């Protein structure tokens, strides 16, 4: 493949940015990759393992001369980072992000950026429970969706160029309105994560079940909850605070559904339970048929390669 961006700046050097860097290197999509992370240790590791060609102590220094700037920091830090880098952005550069919410990112970032750059908010629907610069791997985005929520006045050529980059990673791309994105993700990701955190918390507080029993006898359902609940706490704190309206809406609907199931169990309404589980089972089959998971016992989630 040919070079798509001459110089790429990654602000934040965790799982997503690291996987992007490795994918760009593997396929020769960028001539130079530079980065910045708040932690000196993270910067040193990223340089040591070859994620980037150079690291910078400040985000402002990292973005100088970059054709593509990727904001891979927690949503709550986006505004401060955008304000810092804005005066140093190259005219005509593209700025994107990888945050799990989009309306809040637009509100935090867009006001700071100069008119001569292209802002294209993005969200790769990919990840693992691991974090940090050593957690990335180049195939992370293969056959996963990468959603973009550009404003209507953004240059089409700039959007198509960024889509070309992530498609070269193996990702599938789609565009949608930021508000619609946040509602969809509240259903498919944010609320399930909150439920997983809650279920693991319930097990922690249920003193009639010892800690050793919870660990030793974890069946597939609880084990998957713990995998989800192992995700980065800073990121998920920001997600829930920044997408609270959509999450609260879906949580309300979830609570109503839960009350219906509680009543069916209490009343011994086996037919209602059977019909309900039959409908929801079809969703799982649809996910497999769409190629977003497999029917393997590990749900298709092989462990991330470790250095």
pLDDT at 287 over 70: no
Q: Poorest-confidence range of 40-44, 132-136, 178-182?
A: 132-136
Copy the structure tokens of residue 84: 């810092």
Average pLDDT over residues 29-58: 95
Q: What is the pLDDT of residue 5?
A: 98
pLDDT of residue 218: 58
For domain 180-267, the question of CATH label 1.10.3660.10 is answered with yes
Q: What is the pLDDT of residues 193-217, one digit of tens each?
A: 888 778 777 776 665 555 566 666 5
Rounded CA-CA distance 233/231 in Å is 6
Residue 293's pLDDT band (cuts 50, 70, 90) = low
* pLDDT number for residue 141: 95
Share of the chain above pLDDT 70, in %: 86
Which regions of the chain carry the CATH code 3.40.50.720?
5-176
Confidence at residue 142, expressed as pLDDT on a 0 to 100 scale: 94
| Residue range 143-153: mean pLDDT, rounded | 94
Residue 298 has pLDDT above 70, yes or no: no
CATH topology classification for 5-176:
Rossmann fold (3.40.50)
* pLDDT tens-digit map of 177-187: 999 999 998 88
User: What is the reported pLDDT for 246?
Assistant: 87
pLDDT at residue 219 is higher than 70: no
98: pLDDT confidence band, cut at 50, 70 and 90? Answer: very high
- The pLDDT of residue 211 is 58
The pLDDT value recorded for residue 296 is 57
Q: Which residues of the chain are in CATH 1.10.3660.10 domains?
A: 180-267
pLDDT at 53 over 70: yes
| pLDDT of 70 | 98
């Amino acid at each position: 493949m040919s070079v798509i961006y001459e110089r790429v700046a990654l602000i934040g050097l965790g799982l997503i940015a690291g996987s992007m860097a490795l994918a760009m290197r593997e396929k020769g999509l960028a001539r130079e990759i530079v980065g910045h992370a708040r932690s000196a240790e993270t910067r040193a590791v990223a340089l040591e393992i070859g994620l980037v060609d150079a690291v910078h102590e400040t985000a402002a220094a990292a973005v100088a001369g970059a054709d593509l700037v990727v904001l891979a920091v927690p949503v709550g830090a986006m505004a401060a980072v955008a304000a810092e880098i804005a005066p140093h952005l190259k005219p005509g550069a593209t700025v994107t992000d990888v945050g799990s919410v989009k309306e809040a990112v637009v509100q935090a970032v867009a006001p700071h950026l100069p008119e001569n750059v292209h802002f294209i908010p993005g969200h790769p629907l990919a990840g693992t429970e691991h974090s940090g610069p050593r957690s990335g791997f180049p195939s992370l985005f293969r056959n996963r969706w990468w959603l973009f929520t550009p404003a209507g006045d953004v240059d089409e050529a700039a959007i198509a160029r960024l889509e070309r980059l992530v498609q070269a990673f193996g990702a599938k791309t789609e565009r949608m309105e930021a508000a619609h994105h946040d509602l969809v993700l509240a259903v498919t990701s944010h609320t399930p994560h909150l439920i997983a955190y809650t279920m693991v918390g319930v097990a922690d507080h249920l003193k009639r079940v010892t800690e050793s029993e919870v660990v030793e006898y974890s069946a597939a359902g609880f084990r998957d909850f713990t995998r989800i609940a192992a995700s980065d706490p800073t990121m998920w704190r920001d997600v829930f605070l920044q997408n609270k309206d959509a999450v609260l809406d879906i949580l309300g609907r979830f609570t109503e559904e839960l009350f219906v199931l509680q009543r069916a169990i209490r009343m011994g309404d086996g037919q209602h339970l059977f019909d309900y589980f039959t409908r929801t089972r079809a969703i799982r089959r649809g996910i497999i048929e769409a190629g977003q998971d497999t029917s393997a016992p590990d749900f298709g989630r092989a462990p991330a390669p470790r250095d």
